[in-house]
Amino acid sequence: MQPKISVIIPVYHVEKYVAACLDSVLSQSYRNIEVICVDDGGKDGSRAIVDAYAAKDGRVKVLDLGGNRGIGPARNAGMDAMTGDYFIFLDSDDLLAENALQNMHEALMRTGADMVTGRFEAFPDEDRADLIHSAGTLNETFRLMHEDDVQVTVQNYQRMLDFSYAVVWGKLFSAEYMRRKGIRFHDSRILHEDKGFWLKIIGSLPHIACIGELVTLYRIRPNSSMTSATKEQKARRKQDIRIAVEDGVAHLYKMHPEALARQLHELTRSHRSFAPQLETRYLGGLLRLRWYRHEKLVEFCRVQIYREKVLRSGVKEYRLFGLCLHKDENPA
């Protein structure tokens, strides 16, 4: 018999999208699946839709969180309830590509990896210029993320923190491996919960298999954090990222001997996406200096004066007043 794959789908205010999401899962060529829809306490018609699917297909299970606890706790609850040998996270407004589960499972069986990922593709929810632009930008980034099978080590740890856009959906995990490493989300209602979870995954130094086939279709919605954010949301995002990263760093010390954990901790602190922001403000906040390992920035009255930054592609870019002066393909 085929090993069972659990698909964990948090559900919250997605009555417009969740039916298409479930259809993309239930139509997979890989048949031995369970679909765990975690109801996160939404007030729209999403629950009625997933209940109807559960009544028609015994592979669909609905888990009630008893209120709105957030996507991290919802995914944790799904992991606790699942019975699969492998599992994958899927957001309820996204879609699994055709044959995604079959292709990923075959890769895991072939390589013996701890997790497998494939290609992602973003698509706009509406025919709007801003959504189309965001989808195109993301797709360019997604193309840079793919690479061959890799064993994460101390030597490639920082590079792998950027691997696969550091998202947790679109990946098939070994349930046994994740339980053994104790990898879970921070159990609170924070934004950007992926960041700490991903740090724990890469910090566990796993074997990752990659396939060239498309696995996830990522929907860009008008209210997506990819397209808009208020000043208050940006402030909360910064605070929540710090919580998630601190949780991830603490878990390094649970998984490894102290010497190795400390080494990974130091590498995390100097990484552009995970390092605490080091910035100084002068003249009442009008002059801002930011000094990352991968980015140096000078702003005056919120106008960018000078910036040098190492992009995810590895290219180092130099800008003056927003204009690109030079690109270094092989920065030191």
Encode pLDDT of 255-264 as tens digits.
999 999 999 9
199 three-state secondary structure: helix
Cβ burial, residue 124 (10 Å; 0-12/13-18/19+): buried
CA distance 127 to 132: 7
Q: Quote helix, strand, coil % in the chain, to nearest 5.
A: 40, 25, 35
Q: What is the pLDDT of residue 264?
A: 95
Place 277 in a pLDDT band, splitting at 50, 70 and 90. Answer: very low
Count CB atoms within 10 A of the CB of residue 317.
17
Superfamily of domain 5-241, CATH level 4:
Spore Coat Polysaccharide Biosynthesis Protein SpsA; Chain A (3.90.550.10)
Q: Mean of the pLDDT values across residues 159-163?
A: 83
Percent of the chain with pLDDT over 90: 58
Burial class (CB in 10 A: 0-12, 13-18, 19+), 127: exposed
Render 221-276 in DSSP notation, one character per residue: -TT-TTT---HHHHHHHHHHHHHHHHHHHHHHHHHS-HHHHHHHHHHHHTSTTTSP
> 229 vs 318, which has greater pLDDT?
318
Please give the Cα distance from 226 to 324 (Å, whole number).
24
pTM over 0.85: no
Tens digit of each residue's pLDDT (9 = 90 or more) over 230-251:
667 777 777 888 888 899 999 9
Distance CA 226, CA 244 (A): 19
For residues 209 and 148, give the distance between their C-alpha atoms in angstroms, rounded to a whole number: 7
According to the model, what pLDDT value does residue 222 have?
A: 85
Cα distance between the two ends of the chain: 52
21, 93 Cβ separation under 8 angstroms: yes
Q: Which pLDDT score is estimated for 189?
A: 85
The encoded tokens of residue 58 equal 């015994």
Strand, helix or coil at 291? strand
Tell me the domain boundaries of the chain. Answer: 5-241, 277-332
The residue among 292 and 99 whose pLDDT is bigger is 99
